[in-house]
Structure 1
């Protein structure tokens, strides 16, 4: 019973990040606010989750993996319930943006830690990561479709109530989880490191969301400066013999650094391409939320198919080879979308490219997570899990912001801006492939 509650929790967190986009106008009208007010709530959810992921992961060393997971579910569920009853923007932000964001930061890192420390071999771990990663990708991809259906038929509040129901089911299943026997010894929590990492990531994400404006450089610059102070702090703390929030040694391993880079690019390409394609379908072809979600189904199928085969592929190929192969397949899918999809082309024109894009992402998502998590011993899983999830969330934010800035910067008609945005994402995927090619040959695992 290990995987089902972890996969469901990852699904609901990914679902919450994308389902709100199709209900923005309805929520704004119902609450008597503006679209900008609801978009602010969505942005704050991403900010809260990304900023607190590293401290939330480290807390698992103090609270225990299972306890931290259950606490995150409780906070998340309360937030979803509060958001469902919101009568104004303030309550929506408190429930959705803050409580659900905090809950996500507490429950997501234990998911990956538990899979890593309870799996006896690479193939088993890959199979489990395949299910979890597939559930996350499915939640992100199906969020707009499911959200569109629920909003249309039952209202936007029902979408939050659905999350409450799923969280309740996860809690029941999670009670049967067994706490891993070896939990790192408790030491003093690095409060200064937690504040610096959260503040640095906060300003970086705000800067990313302002990409294309002069504020990007202001916020991004402040964020980078704070993160520099964070790295200086953890190095100093380690030299003094105190345990830092994250060990600097984590970033000295070349395989880990490159694996994290591929994770960042994977989520950047996935979220960025979904954003571009969804906007293209709605603005150029005039599709509504439901039809847009249906058009993205081939990508979802590709992700699920490749994730389901993760364990079998891990037995036959190294994680490094799978990451490289995944990038090649995803790039081929993006190229096919660029070549075949036009404003007047048929529905079937998008199927081959979207399927390959999804299959490629599914292959490399699982392999990258497996590679990075497996490089660290059990005692360091709290560190690497938080960094890994932060890097992935940053990738999602960068992908949407980058795609949006390209779309906003090109005003020529005929879908030129959409083609340019997809071409830009394809080039980024090529950079990810280069990073994958630089990953050294597998060495004996640290655990």
Structure 2
């Protein structure tokens, strides 16, 4: 019975009210808005790395730990909290999570030492832990299935755009008013968005955008046993490869986003504000690449279901090649240009990965499935990226550490290749099981 939704059409929603379609886009905008706040609170830290290093005399390893502790908390807690969100209510969970990370960011602003900052950052991670998986589950439930790569890529790109705003605005505020005000500004924005979301989005209005079959499936998901849940989440080799490939390939953007302001400050002599603003451009390029690559994957896969995998492999190989060359070039505009093009592709497999996971899991457990994807993203890529780069930087220098980072997408490409080889047979088997269950 678990596999009857192997190729879900949860987003094929009949319009039951005149304003339903418009409301779906409002929900999307507000959900992405909170994701922007999520990453602004997370990445503002990177803009003030040099100031914290000078204020508290921190090593690169300790600086990296302040960034990685957030991703670590997300990785550890995303799955259990997402399962709870499926049972307790996704909208209520989103409001609670956003309030927590906003207040924790305020805690960062009043920290007086490294230990207090580390604790506050841990609570930022706890608040953000399940947001990505629950948020994308809400979005996918109210839009057509044919838009999954596009929507997933656009949603995840919100993280890049939030990082841009967090680094650029945080750096500007810090340069003028100090690093504490940079954290305070991010916290204030998050609190405002929480209030708006709570007033506009409700479970009842979301239900109007969802077909009765999905509402029934979600009811089954709530009552599903842990064994059945695990079976649905890890039912095929290809979905496991999607988890693994997605996680490993995200080590690149996480490492470069965290250390690019410091790279520009140390190797190009840029002051704090300019380094943060310039680094934000690379994050922006990454976000644009996620949207474009996700849309391209949807277009390519119209006439071939394995083409999403081929696209993911191509994006990983392009990122590896360009960044491996870029970080070994002499400092100058050409180096930054090559690195920028590499960053365009470095998270391009996010959209295809999300679509693969959605296609290979039932809609009743999509929040849990995306929690598993988030778990892989964080434990394999986002969490170790900043601190691992910092540890290596303390030994080889920051440039030497960044020269090793591009090998991650090469490994991810291998995982995607294995997934591609199994995808057709896995999907056919799931379709057969679905048809049998329907009868």
TM norm structure 1: 0.73
Extract unaligned runs of 5+ from structure 1. Answer: 189-237
Is the counterpart of residue 347 in structure 1 residue 333 in structure 2? yes
Aligned-pair distance for 1:406?
Answer: 4.7
- How far, CA to CA, are the matches of 1:3 and 1:337 in structure 2? 33
CA distance 1:169–1:245, change in 2 (3 Å): farther
Q: Which moved more, 1:43-52 or 1:303-312?
A: 303-312
CA distance 1:110–1:126, change in 2 (3 Å): same
Out of 127, 137, 141, which is 1:117 matched to?
141
1:42–1:97 Cα contact (<8 Å) kept: no
For 1:330-409, list aligned pairs within 5 A. Answer: 330-339=316-325, 344-355=330-341, 357-394=342-379, 395-408=381-394
For 1:59-70, list aligned pairs within 5 A. Answer: 59-70=84-95
Is the counterpart of residue 301 in structure 1 residue 285 in structure 2? yes
Q: Which moved more, 1:283-292 or 1:12-21?
A: 283-292
- How far, CA to CA, are the matches of 2:120 and 2:262 in structure 1? 28
- How far, CA to CA, are the matches of 1:48 and 1:306 in structure 2? 24
Aligned-pair distance for 1:271?
Answer: 1.9
Deviations 1:143-196 (A, max 9, x none): 4443322211222222222222332343203532242442436979xxxxxxxx
Is the counterpart of residue 159 in structure 1 residue 144 in structure 2? no
For 1:11-26, list aligned pairs within 5 A. Answer: 11-24=36-49, 26=51
SS at the partner of 1:247?
Answer: helix
Aligned-pair distance for 1:341?
Answer: 5.3
Out of 237, 244, 249, which is 1:266 matched to?
249
Deviations 1:383-428 (A, max 9, x none): 21221111111111233355445545547x9x6x357414533543
Aligned-pair distance for 1:371?
Answer: 1.7
C-alpha RMSD of the superposition: 3.6
Corresponding residue for residue 12 of structure 2: none
Deviations 1:83-124 (A, max 9, x none): 3333455654454322x222112433210210222223222x
CA distance 1:272–1:37, change in 2 (3 Å): closer
2:252–2:408 Cα contact (<8 Å) kept: yes
Aligned-pair distance for 1:438?
Answer: 3.3
- How far, CA to CA, are the matches of 1:128 and 1:25 in structure 2? 36
SS at the partner of 2:127?
Answer: helix
Q: Which moved more, 1:427-436 or 1:59-68?
A: 427-436
CA distance 1:88–1:306, change in 2 (3 Å): closer
SS at the partner of 1:317?
Answer: helix
Out of 28, 36, 48, which is 2:73 matched to?
48
SS at the partner of 2:144?
Answer: coil
SS at the partner of 2:200?
Answer: coil
2:323–2:406 Cα contact (<8 Å) kept: no
2:312–2:348 Cα contact (<8 Å) kept: yes
Q: Which moved more, 1:86-95 or 1:383-392?
A: 86-95
Corresponding residue for residue 14 of structure 2: none
1:267–1:392 Cα contact (<8 Å) kept: yes
1:260–1:391 Cα contact (<8 Å) kept: yes
- How far, CA to CA, are the matches of 2:53 and 2:346 in structure 1? 34
- How far, CA to CA, are the matches of 1:58 and 1:298 in structure 2? 34
For 1:224-239, list aligned pairs within 5 A. Answer: none
For 1:106-145, list aligned pairs within 5 A. Answer: 106-123=130-147, 125-140=148-163, 143-145=166-168
1:326–1:361 Cα contact (<8 Å) kept: no
1:72–1:107 Cα contact (<8 Å) kept: yes
2:358–2:366 Cα contact (<8 Å) kept: yes
Corresponding residue for residue 127 of structure 2: 103
Deviations 1:192-249 (A, max 9, x none): xxxxxxxxxxxxxxxxxxxxxxxxxxxxxxxxxxxxxxxxxxxxxx9xxx54595244
CA distance 1:299–1:332, change in 2 (3 Å): farther
- How far, CA to CA, are the matches of 1:314 and 1:187 in structure 2? 30
2:79–2:372 Cα contact (<8 Å) kept: yes
Aligned-pair distance for 1:51?
Answer: 1.5
SS at the partner of 2:239?
Answer: helix
Extract unaligned runs of 5+ from structure 2. Answer: 1-25, 208-214
- How far, CA to CA, are the matches of 2:378 and 2:254 in structure 1? 10
Is the counterpart of residue 76 in structure 1 residue 97 in structure 2? no
1:266–1:432 Cα contact (<8 Å) kept: no
Aligned-pair distance for 1:141?
Answer: 5.2
